[in-house]
Amino acid sequence: MSTSERSRKNAHWQLELGDGLNQVLVERNEVRALLIVDHHIGGLIKRRCSSLSAVDTRFRIAEMRKSSA
């Protein structure tokens, strides 16, 4: 795999919606973690897995819906 191919892959986010938008799987840099939506802070997602510490895990629910459509 070339450097440019690796860069493209690492820049790509995959969002998968779980039951009732409560669970979201984020994949980046071949690291996976389960996230949970916190409805009490304006619908932002907070990370629950420290292995994703280098990844910004804040997404708007509306953007997730758009991505999954």
- pLDDT per residue, tens digit, the chain (69 aa), is 555 554 444 444 334 444 434 444 444 444 444 444 444 444 444 444 444 433 444 444 445 555 555
**Per-position DSSP letters for the chain, written without gaps between them:** --HHHHHHHHH--EEEE-GGG-EEEEEETTEEEEEEEEGGGTTEEE---GGGTTS----BHHHHHHHH-
Q: What is the pTM of this model?
A: 0.16
- Going from N- to C-terminal start, the domains of the chain cover 3-68
